[in-house]
Amino acid sequence: MLLADTKPVKAEEILEEKEELEMQLYRMQANIKDIAKDTKGEILGIDQTKEDKWVIVHAVDDGNACKIMINDCETSYRGKWDFSIQATYKSEDTIKIGDIKGPAGKGYGSICMQYLKQKAHKHNIPYIIGDIAERDWNHLDRLLHFYKKHHFDVKLDRDSKCGKIIWTG
């Protein structure tokens, strides 16, 4: 098979990709059932990472705090998430990101951020804010890229190694 601007694809590669997708679909079905039984939250959807891996997005929201989580579909669900954005409702018009936990570079943060913004829109919340702490300074470039990609204004105080982020929806 030869597509425009791509290298030839061998039948073995196509078969391997098909088998991998079938396994992810099988895991997705099993994981959705297990997540739905195990958590008191809701399944928000399924999505694909930048590497075309399938993930399940789910949330727990008690009206004071919200956690948006991802579980990949390459492994079995074992009662804990693979990535999360944890936030609180600071006021009727503001969500504050408290922490982002999980591996970098997989696209999980972008997926979770999209769902957090959807939650803000759904509840007519125009602002998402957060802090950049000194502990973030060792990965500041990656963090700045992430927030700017998601249309946050970033204000840094390089002397005290802290900062603020704000998104207006």
**Mean pLDDT for the stretch of residues 88-92:** 96
By three-state DSSP, how is residue 106 classified?
coil
Predicted confidence band of residue 2 (pLDDT cuts 50, 70, 90): very low
Q: Tell me: the pLDDT tens digits for 130-150?
A: 999 999 999 999 999 999 999
Q: For residues 102 and 90, give the distance between their C-alpha atoms in angstroms, rounded to a whole number.
A: 24
CATH number for the domain formed by residue range(s) 11-168? 3.40.630.30
Predicted confidence band of residue 5 (pLDDT cuts 50, 70, 90): low
Is the model more confident about 22 or about 85? 85
Q: Tell me: the pLDDT tens digits for 27-72?
A: 899 899 889 888 778 999 999 999 889 999 999 999 999 999 999 9
Q: Which pLDDT belongs to residue 6?
A: 65
Q: Which pLDDT belongs to residue 27?
A: 87
Instruction: Quote the pTM value.
Output: 0.86
Whether pLDDT at 124 is above 80: yes
Structural domain boundaries in the chain: 11-168
Q: For residues 168 and 52, give the distance between their C-alpha atoms in angstroms, rounded to a whole number.
A: 29
Q: At what angle do helices 108-122 and 140-149 cross, to 10 degrees?
A: 40
**Mean pLDDT for the stretch of residues 69-94:** 95
Asked whether the beta carbons of 111 and 55 are under 8 A apart, the reply is yes
